[in-house]
Amino acid sequence: MTTLTATEQTSPPAPARPAYRVTGRRVLASEWDKLWSLRSTWITLGLGLLFLVAFGLIASGRYASTYGSPHMDHDFASSTAVSLSLFGTNFAQLALGVLGVLVTAGEYSTGMIRSSLAAVPRRLPVLWSKAAVFGLVALAVALVGVCVAFFFGGRIVSGTPAAMGFSHAGVVRSLLGAALYLALVGVIGTALGSLLRSVAGGISVLVAALMLVPGLAELLPSSWRDDITRYLPSNAGESMFALTHDSTTLSPAAGLLVFLGWTALALAGAAYRLLRSDV
């Protein structure tokens, strides 16, 4: 009896569980794993890439087939290989923006956000990590898409006035600007999803901001319409990758700054609500 008690008292204690600290790298890794675990990520990124390449090649093919024909549209005749290859940008921005909304609002609809915020009590690193991870993924996909569309689209229109190569002035800047614009649209989507906490609401606001508001702005009086429309998100973003500019558009640098401002505003709104309201 005494020997058994002594043996129990001197037995080594059970090893303690290691204490894991919440670090920025671990939060980023967690968001990376969650992003790729969703089937919608693969499908929507694939659609965004398909829109960029397919519509760019279709526009280039149409230009090449109608060049010199009396049926060719006058505005279409002034196109370049860059504008033709980036024809799918308007469609790809919807795919990437919608996926950005799903990245954040989807967790609120399933309730998974409670687990995420319980693991990261400071909250804001979750938002920053989601935006950073998806923004980089969207940038990579967009960059591949615009380069592939321009590479093959340029060969389709070779021998026409629209023909251009990577060495032409402004081409690389336009392609990088288009990829960056699409990546920032994705970041805005993540911010809207976190701010509104509704997939339908986030997508509605995103579509309205990028497509409906610019159309409605065209109904404004011409005396001050141009002074407003150039600062709208889609118009400022378009100036980032346009080859030519006039008095009604912003320069590429100014367009980037304005669009970064819209992105920062959306993220600030999402951060404020994340800190001030319960899940």
* DSSP 8-state code for residue 169: T
Please give the residue range of the domain that contains residue 72.
Answer: 24-276
Mean pLDDT of each 10-residue bin along the chain, 279 residues long? 48 53 81 88 94 94 81 75 94 95 90 83 90 96 96 91 89 96 97 95 95 86 82 93 85 95 97 84
Q: Which residues neighbour 274 within 8 Å (Cβ) at sequence distance 6 or greater?
A: 123, 124, 126, 127, 194
Alpha-carbon dihedral sign for residues 268, 274, 277, 279: positive
Q: Which residue has the tokens 């800190």?
A: 275
pLDDT at 191: 97
Residue 3 lies in a domain: no
* pTM of the predicted model as reported, rounded to 2 decimal places: 0.89
Structure tokens at 83: 């504008």
pLDDT at 279: 63
- How many residues does this entry show for the chain? 279
Task: Please state, in angstroms and rounded to a whole number, the distance separating the CA atoms of residues 87 and 57.
Answer: 9
Alpha-carbon dihedral sign for residues 109, 124, 176, 212: positive
Residue 1 lies in a domain: no
Per the CB < 8 A criterion, the answer to whether 158 and 81 are in contact is: no
Residue 183 lies in a domain: yes
Write the burial class of residue 215 (CB in 10 Å: 0-12 exposed, 13-18 middle, 19+ buried): exposed
Residue 182 lies in a domain: yes
Residue 61 lies in a domain: yes
Structure tokens at 263: 């992105």
Angle of the 39-66 helix axis to the 124-156 helix axis, nearest 10: 30
Residue 42 phi/psi, 5° resolution?
Answer: -65, -40
Residue 225 lies in a domain: yes
Residue 12 lies in a domain: no
Per the CB < 8 A criterion, the answer to whether 177 and 245 are in contact is: no
Task: Please state, in angstroms and rounded to a whole number, the distance separating the CA atoms of residues 112 and 35.
Answer: 13
- The total number of structural domains that make up the chain: 1
Residue 95 lies in a domain: yes
